[in-house]
Structure 1
Amino acid sequence: MVCCSHCSDTNTKPDSQWTKISGTRYDTQRFFLLPIVLIPSSSNSLAILPAESKIFHGRAAELEAVVELFRQGSPRIAILGGGGMGKTSLAKAVLHDPEVSARYEHRFFVATDSASTRPELLQLVASHIGLRPTKDLDTQVVVRHLLQGPPCLLVLDNLETSWEPKNSRTEVEEFMSHMVEVPELALMITMRGAERPAKVHWTHPFLPPLKPLPISAARQTFIDIADSFHPSNEVEQLLRLTDYMPLAVNLIAHLVDYEGSSAVLARWENEKISLLSAGHDKRTNLEASIQISLSSSRLTSQPGAKDLLALLSILPDGLSDVELVQMKLPIQSIRASRSTLLSTCLAYIDEAKRLKVLGPVREHVQKSNPPS
């Protein structure tokens, strides 16, 4: 579906706050002139909305929580969580929610995987909202463009690509701080980890980082992909191997669809997580998705974090805080390392207050970085 972008509408009527004077708009409340930006036709815009996920279970509460934030005005929302947790799927569901789409006819979904710096992110956003990327393009041009347009929703998917590197983080946060100066702009980002970028007043209440699917939702996802005739005991065993991580459930269900549950279980005994890593990108290769998190500068810059992760990979029951201290582990800055694993969503605290790692992550770490 093509977003009804204002990029082809140069005749939008100003509201009562605006007066148009010879090619400029005069803001009678702010008392300064905003030059009108010449906007290319929609054929030059990249503003095409992705289809919503047709198989989408177990996120009704999260979806309702986000939609509720939209009822309060133009929110700034961060959808957080580990790799493969369905952040993008939730963002797409929000984009196509009837309430949200009715309020924001102009919606833009920007996959930012290819933007590793602020200038690249700026150019990418500009091209999606209908501006021609140029060498002299700056943040203020984008902000003016959005100020002059109707209310819109901007989704920045996988923002960690440009935010994660320390040498670009401050610039990316500064860019976002300018973007949210637009009153009628609703901003939603998806990002790996549990941290929200600074310099943005995120709308309360915050959405907690996404967790694995409820068992019933994982089972329904599996059935939608692989059908319901497979032996239930084998299906349950396969789902336990995924720890109900959405991406892992999706990948293992597709394998079962054409190989059968017994054959996939037999292959798992020999291949383990490699079985789910035949694809060429993070959406079809579970290890590729996990490795992105393992390459995070937050993880690599913290001495001891990978060592603690390696230890947790062989402890399915995890560690309590007391055990973490009393064991006197030869791990540098162990409390800071614990914090790093939590901030990157490579580990989590379970209901028993134990520090644990999901099964697929444990399998990959045992294979790629076993404890010494």
Structure 2
Amino acid sequence: LSNAPPQIFHGREYELQGLVNTLLAEPARVALLGPGGMGKTALAVVGIHNQKVADRYPTRHFIPCDSVHTKDSLVATIASHLGLETSQATAKHVVHYLATSSPCLLILDNFETPWEPVDGRTKIEEFLLLVTGVTHIGLLITMRGAERPGKVQWTHPFLPPLRPLTPIAAHQTFIEVADDIHDHLEAEQLLKITDNIPLAVQLIATIAASEGCQATLERWKLESTAMLSAGYDKQSNLETSIMLSLSSPRMLSLPHVADLLSLMSLLSDGISDTDLAQSKLSVPEILKCKTTLIRTSLAYVDNAGHLKVLAPIREYI
């Protein structure tokens, strides 16, 4: 297991304990869900380095699925990480290898990439079903969105989709990255921009570390979410992460869902189910569109029952 846990990691104690407890269950079939940039991968890595989890599964295979788009490529990718000959690897070979090996934990990161396309989803889920049929193999997947793949009997209790950090945890993260903060009011203004999304907090704190909080606020007024980038992939670029969610098959399958998202991005306080249903918004199948936004984690329902869109997504839209 080559993935080292992040050194800056605040505010996920409750979620981490839930993840560890579920991974120690028999059998462990765990889906870690949430919007892009919410820290699913970081939480997964910290969880699998927990000593109790390491004792339960001395062998853990962390397998990125960003570039996996079909069942065959998923099988080949897993086979490669298991040390099998990929050119001859089949689902049957992989499952047989797992069934005859010692207990191990498979971590399939960014599993939404192979699972999202509707035309190949059944094959992906059937392969997962075969893998989870091996009782001494643990499975942890991370996926953007709020849906778990079907067919698999996921371990109860389900882990709820990750939400933004608490204000205290976001502030701790910001301070550790940005270091010397002269004006805490300016720092709080920057954190308000991020809506406490971990990726956004990290990126804006990195800018503040070199440019200062005041200059960073001025840049935000000019560049908005375009400034939240330390690279081109979804783990270092907020716009790339948002674009991936917007272009997902679930979003593209319903033409008017983007219209609802655009309208929701104008409502910082969100809207209740009653108001949404009774509204005269010109969005066909509006409740179906709402469900799609929730399933893709582009929107969420807050504690007051209001459908809301996170601040960085509103700014991007």
Q: TM-score, normalised by structure 2?
A: 0.98
| Other-structure match for 1:95 | 48
Q: What is the root-mean-square deviation of aligned Cα atoms in Å?
A: 1.0
Contact 1:77 1:187 in 2 (8 A): yes
TM-score, normalised to structure 1's length? 0.84
Residue 39 of structure 2 is aligned to residue 80 of structure 1 = no
Identical counterparts, % of pairs: 50
Q: Write out per-residue CA displacement over residues 115-161 of structure 1, whole angstroms, 9 at most, x where no aligned residue.
A: 11111110000010121102x42111111111111110000000111
Contact 2:203 2:236 in 1 (8 A): yes
Question: Which one has a larger percent helix, Structure 1 or Structure 2?
Answer: 2
2:233 is the counterpart of 1:293:
no
Residues 242-300 of structure 1, C-alpha deviations (whole Å, 9 max, x = no match): 00000000000000011110100111111111111352111111100000000011111
Q: Any gaps of 5 or more consecutive residues in structure 2?
A: none
Counterpart of 2:303?
A: 351
2:131 to 168, 179, 193: 179
Query: Which deviates further from its counterpart, 272-281 or 106-115?
Result: 272-281
1:316 maps to a residue whose letter is: S
- Helix, strand or coil for the counterpart of 1:109? strand
Whether the 8 Å contact between 2:33 and 2:146 is mirrored in structure 1 is yes
Which residue in 1 is equivalent to 2:189? 237
Instruction: Please say if 1:255 is aligned against 2:207.
Output: yes
Whether the 8 Å contact between 2:64 and 2:110 is mirrored in structure 1 is: yes
Give SS of 1:360's match.
helix
Task: Indicate the SS of the match to 1:61.
Answer: helix
Deviations 1:340-363 (A, max 9, x none): 000000001112211110000001
Query: Offset at 1:63?
Result: 0.8
Q: How many residues align?
A: 317
Larger Rg, first or second structure (1 or 2): 1
Contact 2:180 2:209 in 1 (8 A): no
Structure 1 counterpart of 2:267, from 315, 324, 338: 315
Q: Please list every run of 5 or more consecutive structure 1 residues that lacks an aligned counterpart in the other structure.
A: 4-48, 366-372
2:27/2:136 contact within 8 Å kept: yes
Question: Match for residue 340 of structure 1?
Answer: 292
Q: 1:142 aligns with which of 94, 102, 109?
A: 94
Letter in 2 for 1:198: G
Counterpart pick for 2:59 among 98, 103, 106: 106
| Deviations 1:213-260 (CA, angstroms, capped at 9, x unpaired) | 001100111111111433110111100000000000000000001111
Cα distance in structure 2, aligned partners of 1:184 and 1:278: 40
| TM-superposed deviation, 1:71 | 3.0
Q: Which secondary structure state, in structure 2, belongs to the residue aligned with residue 323 of structure 1? A: helix
The aligned amino acid for 1:239 is: L
User: Runs ≥4 in structure 1, deviation > 4 angstroms?
Assistant: none
